[in-house]
Amino acid sequence: MKKVLVLNGSPKAVSDTMVLTRAFLQGLNGEGAYEIDVVDVIKKQIKPCLGCFKCWQNGDGKCIQQDDQNAILEQYAAADLIIYSFPLYCYAMPSHLKAVLDRTIPLMQIKMVEVDGIVQHVPLVDFSGKRTIVISGCGFPDWEDNYNGLRIMCNNSFGHPTMVFVSEAPLLNAPEADAVTGPLVEAFIQAGIEYREKDCLSEGTVNWLETPMIPKEAYMEMINGIT
């Protein structure tokens, strides 16, 4: 059975982005072929990376800091599919999730190679069969410029993963918006099925998932009317 590790970077008990991620997982695991572990990162004790490079000296795939990161590293190394699910914070991922990413360096070696023009550290574990998906929601009515920096970081960090960036995400927890959020949630279920069958999402599917649910002007009027 394939293993899926979901790193939930939302600090909220009810996460807009996780509504979409869980819909995607519903479609992905429709045949029960996956073992899915969801890690709510905000509930874990993850200290910042010390930059001490003891992990590279030891070469054991572990961090010397005694917190919850080493357990996540074990799950990370064992996973066939890793899903980063998080809200957009200051044009990037939330700091507690970024700390998890920073501290994946024990899974690398100090030795370097150049791959497709980018200098990288040689993995300590086999990443060749691993796939990564990034699902992120934001509160803006559009996403292109808001996600440009994150797109570059994810491409460099994960080797051009599948990325889906959703604008107007707060609508997902507004019951009065069911008429527009319902079709998007269903589209994420279908996207999970597509990924299960093809190990990728088509450009058309991603474009549909990223299409704003309501016009920019209507969304801004709604947000600006909140008191």
Over the stretch 17-44, which tens digit does the pLDDT of each residue have? 999 999 999 999 988 889 999 999 999 9
3-state secondary structure of 139: coil
Residue 177 DSSP label: G
The CA-atom distances, in angstroms, between 115 and each of 79, 89, 118 are 23, 30, 5
What six digits make up the tokens of 49? Answer: 């990376």
Could you tell me the two tokens for 205? 């599917």
Q: What is the mean pLDDT of residues 112-131?
A: 89
Residue-level pLDDT at 117: 84
Which CA distances in Å does 140 have to 98, 224, 226?
21, 12, 15
Tell me the pLDDT band of 82, cut-offs 50, 70 and 90: very high
Q: How many domains does the chain have?
A: 1
Beta strands at 131-137 and 81-87: parallel, antiparallel or unpaired:
parallel
Residue recorded with tokens 């992120």 = 136
> Range of 150's domain?
2-224
Task: Please report the pLDDT score of residue 118 as a whole number.
Answer: 82
Tell me the pLDDT tens digit for each residue of 131-184. 999 999 999 998 778 999 999 999 989 988 999 999 999 999 888 889 999 999
Could you give the CA distance from residue 135 to residue 164 in angstroms, rounded to a whole number? Answer: 5
Distance CA 189, CA 211 (A): 16
Q: Is the pLDDT score of 203 beyond 70?
A: yes
Average pLDDT across the chain, whole number:
94
Query: CATH number, domain at 90?
Result: 3.40.50.360
Exposed, middle or buried, 133 (CB in 10 Å: 0-12/13-18/19+)?
Answer: buried
Residue-wise pLDDT for 188-199, tens only, equals 999 999 999 999
Q: Which pLDDT value is given to residue 134?
A: 98
The pLDDT of residue 227? 56
42 phi and psi angles, rounded to 5 deg: -60, -25
Residue 202 to residue 76: CA distance in whole angstroms? 26
pLDDT the model gives residue 49? 97
- For the beta carbon of residue 92, count every other beta carbon within 10 angstroms: 16
Q: Are 55 and 109 in contact (CB under 8 A)?
A: no
